[in-house]
Structure formats: C-alpha cells, structure tokens
C-alpha cells in the first residue's frame, strides 16, 4: 500500500508540474472545473478518504456520510491559488496519507466501515485514493491539454 501511494503521488506531482501555468485556470467546457479545481478536488477527496481510513482502522463503527464534490468545488477558492501552491499542498497531504498508512498493520488494513452507504476496507480506501487521483490526471491529459 505504501509503495502504491508513494509511486502514484510521485507520478501526479511530476505530471501536474509539467502543466503550463497558462493552462491552470483552463476549463474545457464552461460548467467543468479548471485544472486547479481538479487538483483541489483530488486534495479534498484524499483528506476525506484518509479520515475514513483512520476512523475504520480505529474500529469506529459509525456510518460516515458522503460529500458533495460539486459543492466543495464551488467553494474552493481556486482562482486565488497558484498551481505551485496546490502542488505543495498535494505533496503534504499525500505525505500525511502515507504516514497514516505506515501506522497501520495488516489487521488495520482489513478493518472496514461504511461511508456514503458503501462498505469498504482501510486497504481499499488507500487504493481508491491512488486510483482516484490518477483518474483525474488522465482526464486532465485527455480533455485539458489537447
């Protein structure tokens, strides 16, 4: 799990760092997020999923709610942020996620809970975070940079 989070984090930082600053506020359609907003979405989602992993690893059986990513996107203040600043924030959040996962043993990784009405294990959450971020990088590559 640690290697997956480390490798995908490095890939994401390398890819986003290669995006020209003039593309940071680009939207391929008026009702879509900018590159900066997508990166904030990745950061927000990783924070929420890390929190879920922590709760489940600590045997908290409380069902956790989902979140409205579009509402978050409307209130993320991307226009006031730089791509460089967001890259630094992503790096810090990913390092925090890795530190959290380093604290888990095999028993913790197999624990599960319910979030957004879906049961998931702590291990699955780590893979979801890694895959989610890569998914959005692929969307940026396909729809924002062509």
pLDDT in tens, 4-13: 999 999 999 9
Q: What sign results for the dihedral spanned by CA atoms 131, 79, 73, 141?
A: negative
Which two three-digit tokens encode residue 72? 């978050």
SS3 string, the chain, reads: CHHHHHHHHHHHHHHHHCCCHHHCCCCCCCCCCCHHHHHHHHHHHHHHHHHHHHHHHCCCCCCECCCCHHHHHHCCCHHHCCHHHHHHHHHHHHHHHHHHHHCCCHHHHHCEEEECCEEEEHHHHHHHHHHHHHHHHHHHHHHHCC
Question: For residue 88, is pLDDT > 90?
Answer: yes
CA distance 2 to 132: 16
| Contact indicator for 8, 133 with CB cutoff of 8 Å | yes
pLDDT, tens only, 51-69: 999 999 999 999 999 999 9
Which CATH entry fits the domain spanning 2-20+34-144: 2.60.120.260, 1.20.120.450, 3.30.2320.30, 1.20.200.10? 1.20.120.450
Provide the pLDDT for residue 11: 97
Q: Phi/psi of residue 64, each to 5°?
A: -100, 145
Domain boundaries, the chain: 2-20+34-144
């Amino acid at each position: 799990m640690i290697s997956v989070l480390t490798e995908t984090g490095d890939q994401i930082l390398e890819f986003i760092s290669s995006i020209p600053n003039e593309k940071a506020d680009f939207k391929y359609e008026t009702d879509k997020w900018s590159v900066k907003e997508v990166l904030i979405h990745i950061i927000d989602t990783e924070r929420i999923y890390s929190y879920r992993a922590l709760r489940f690893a600590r045997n908290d059986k409380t069902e956790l709610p989902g979140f409205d990513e579009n509402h978050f996107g409307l209130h993320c203040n991307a226009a006031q942020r730089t791509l460089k600043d967001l890259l630094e924030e992503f790096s810090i959040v990913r390092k925090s996620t890795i530190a959290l996962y380093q604290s888990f043993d095999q028993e913790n990784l197999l624990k599960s809970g319910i979030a957004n009405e879906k049961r998931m294990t702590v291990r699955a959450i780590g893979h979801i975070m890694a895959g989610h971020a890569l998914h959005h990088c692929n969307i940026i590559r396909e729809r924002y940079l062509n």
